[in-house]
Amino acid sequence: MNGAWMTVLKRDLLLAFRRRSDVATTLFFFLIVSSLFPLGIGPEPTVLSSIAPGVLWVAALLAGMLSLTRLFAADFADGSLEQMLLAPQPLTLLVTAKVLAHWLVCGLPVVLLAPLIGLQYALPNDALFVLIISLLLGTPALSLIGAIGAALTLGVRGSGLLVALLVLPLYIPVLIFGAGAVAASQHGMSAQAHLSLLAACSLLALVLAPLATAAALRISVE
Amino acid sequence: MSINWFKYSSPQTFYPLAGKMIPWFVWLATIFAIAGLYISFAVAPTDFQQGEAYRIIFVHVPAAWMSMVIYIVMAGWAALGLALNARLSAMMAQALAPTGAIFTLLALVTGSLWGKPMWGAWWVWDARLTSELILLFLYLGFIALQASIDDPRRADRAGALLALVGVVNVPIIYFSVKWWNTLHQGSSINMGAAPKMAATMLMGMLLMALAFWMYTVAVALMRVRCIMLERERSSDWVKELSVTAGGKL
């Protein structure tokens, strides 16, 4: 069982490595979206640092969402997804490996890039630190919840837009707690409550989302 | 004596039953609506703080109640459809979704019409308003997903799964929005602290809620009949029906 899990993870990471430009697209999207806001709003540092938590979190959320359609689409097209469904290993487990690979490829780079953009938004150091922690705790939930939407819209007309419609409302709690943590630390309050809730969201998603994703995949592929 | 619980779970037997039930619910909805509107507009006293404009709550509050109740009922039908693999349950869920979305929209629109004279703003990012808006998004997602999948069986099951995911998320979303709201701006407007409602006002509201409820049942049954005909158009019972109806179907 562990073998199958590791194989799926390695395979997905290798595929992502072979198509490096896909990863770069996600990152550039994050970079461009978050650079647009100062251009639209103005270079005032106080304004920028007050909108930074929300803007960076929304940008991270959109960047993660854009790459969701790729999560199962290629496997669906070449038939390897069917083999995973037929495999003796539980599908739920294989799904977690795929989601982890997606997070390592699309989530983690965004987390690492975020403090850089935070600097452009004149975020103070401790807020930057909280931003990294909140993104680290929250982005796994985004990948996990997003996987449900990706599985439901597999092979459906206009699946890219549909995923947005299905998944974005479900992202709201993560956005609220994530941006709230950074804002709290900016105002000199403890971010611990927000971070705990964020971790709770991720853990809950880790338990429930793979089950829902596996069920959705069975519905979509059958 | 054994009861056949599944007698009406097939479209063939449910279609005529639904047809017989619709007039009853239409009449009940009409009677409750007339009584409710009479109490709301003629009997209920003018509010001494809010004047006549408060009367919009007789539509607003029941619509908001219904928007939430319908989502739960819809998810219930969806769960039943997934668990028992019953076609009709999924059709009921599909038939309820547009009505739920309409009530959510109605609650939002009447809320903002009420908010302008009372709060001086069409929209505030209050926890209830925001979660109602998100509920509308959830309804729209459900409808969009079902509409974009061509295979009806897959559409049913995918929609059902989405409704269940939504129902698990609704409390999380509600509390996150509530905490977000209290942390961000403080409760400048507290709807909970409104003075205790007069009994006649409550009566009007309950009657309107019952009217909306009966309307929902009637409309959902009408819609589910259409869905049944559309889905089962190649089956024998629909063909027989269209012969007896003589082209009026």
Sign, CA dihedral A143-A148-A153-A155, equals positive
Residue-wise pLDDT tens digits, A52-92: 999 999 999 999 888 888 889 888 888 889 988 998 889 99
Give me the residue spans of the domains in chain A: 2-221
First to last CA, chain A: 23
Q: Give pLDDT, residue B193.
A: 47
Q: From the list B137, B145, B168, which residue is nearest A169 (CB)?
A: B137
The answer, yes or no, to whether residue B154 has pLDDT greater than 80, is yes
| pLDDT confidence band for B1 (50 / 70 / 90) | low
Rg of the Cα trace of chain B? 21
- In this complex, is the C-beta atom of B173 within 8 Å of any C-beta atom belonging to chain A? yes
Question: Between vectors from CA A185 to CA A184 and to CA A187, what angle results, nearest 5°?
Answer: 65
Q: Give pLDDT, residue B186.
A: 44
pTM of the full predicted structure? Answer: 0.87
List, for chain A, all residue ranges whose pLDDT scores fall below the cut of 70.
Answer: none
Q: Which chain A residues contact residue B149 at CB under 8 A?
A: 156
Least confident of A69-78, B143-152, B170-179: B170-179
Mapped onto helix, strand or coil, the DSSP state of residue B47 is: strand
The answer, yes or no, to whether residue B195 has pLDDT greater than 70, is no
Residue-wise pLDDT tens digits, B37-67: 888 888 777 776 667 777 888 888 899 889 9
* Residue to substitute from B71, B162, B174, interface A, most A β-carbons within 10 A: B162
CA distance B127 to chain A (A): 12
Q: Which residues pair with B200 in a beta bridge?
A: none
Please state, rounded to an integer, the average pLDDT across all residues of chain A. Answer: 90
Q: From the list B140, B161, B165, which residue is nearest A219 (CB)?
A: B161
Q: What are phi and psi of B181, to 5 degrees?
A: -65, -45
Query: Which one is predicted more confidently, B156 or A2?
Result: B156
Q: Give pLDDT, residue A21.
A: 87
The answer, yes or no, to whether residue B189 has pLDDT greater than 60, is no
| pLDDT confidence band for B187 (50 / 70 / 90) | very low
| pLDDT confidence band for B248 (50 / 70 / 90) | low
Burial class of residue A108 (count of CB atoms within 10 Å of its CB; 0-12, 13-18, 19+) = middle
Residue-wise pLDDT tens digits, B98-125: 999 999 999 999 988 888 887 778 887 7
Query: Which one is predicted more confidently, A169 or B234?
Result: A169
Asked if the Cβ–Cβ distance from A152 to B172 is below 8 Å, we say: no
Q: Which chain A residues contact residue B138 at CB under 8 A?
A: 169
For residue B183, give the chain A residue with the closest CA: A180
Q: Which chain B residues contact residue A212 at CB under 8 A?
A: 161, 164-165
Asked if the Cβ–Cβ distance from A173 to B162 is below 8 Å, we say: no
| pLDDT confidence band for B168 (50 / 70 / 90) | confident
Q: Give pLDDT, residue B3.
A: 72
Place of tokens 């999560």: A71
- In this complex, is the C-beta atom of B162 within 8 Å of any C-beta atom belonging to chain A? yes
Q: Of B227, B245, B190, which Cα lies nearest the Cα of B18?
A: B227
Alpha-carbon separation of residue A177 from A56, A126, A204, B138 (angstroms): 13, 17, 14, 20
Give me the residue spans of the domains in chain B: 19-41+52-187+195-245
